[in-house]
Amino acid sequence: VAFSLLLAACVSGPQGTDVGQPTAYIVGSWKLMAVAGAPVLPGTSPTLTFSSDGHANGNGGCNAFGGSYTRAGDTLTFSHMISTMMACTRPGLTSEQVMGQERRFLSALNGAVHASQPETDVLVLTTASGEALRLERAP
């Protein structure tokens, strides 16, 4: 038994590469920085907050949203997500731009995503189709 535990410890992956760490790491507020490599639009501040009791909520840059999440290894699965449904504009941006960014953000939070931590205080959520959301821990 001791040998099995030692072997398991030796073959475990590097720390900090996925959120297979305790869920406590993701608990807190995050701000969306980029969707599929494109920076968030100026004047929008999309956020995502994870609570320790399995709830997730935030703001898509226009509308508030909330629901539940579970974690299994490096997979986060969002469920029961709901949001307000206002149309918004921001100075210098069209409603289509603002709402398009929000749709992409909220669509990614509909089901399972791969979660990784490429660096401290950065969380990347990647959808099954390969679209990545880059978030940074909010101060």
Question: What secondary structure does DSSP assign to 47-78, as a single string?
Answer: EEEE-TTSEEEEE-SSSEEEEEEEEETTEEEE
Q: Check residue 108 and give its pLDDT.
A: 95
Q: Check residue 14 and give its pLDDT.
A: 35
Residue range 17-43: mean pLDDT, rounded: 82
Q: Where along the chain do its domains lie?
A: 15-137
- What residue has token string 């509308």? 63
Residue range 108-127: mean pLDDT, rounded: 95
Res. 11: pLDDT tops 60: no
Q: Check residue 25 and give its pLDDT.
A: 83
Q: Which CATH architecture is the domain 15-137 placed in?
A: Beta Barrel (2.40)
Q: What is the pTM of this model?
A: 0.81
Task: Report how far residue 14's alpha carbon sits from residue 44's, in angstroms, rounded to the nearest whole number.
Answer: 35
Mean pLDDT over the full length of the chain? 85
Give percent of the chain above pLDDT 90: 76
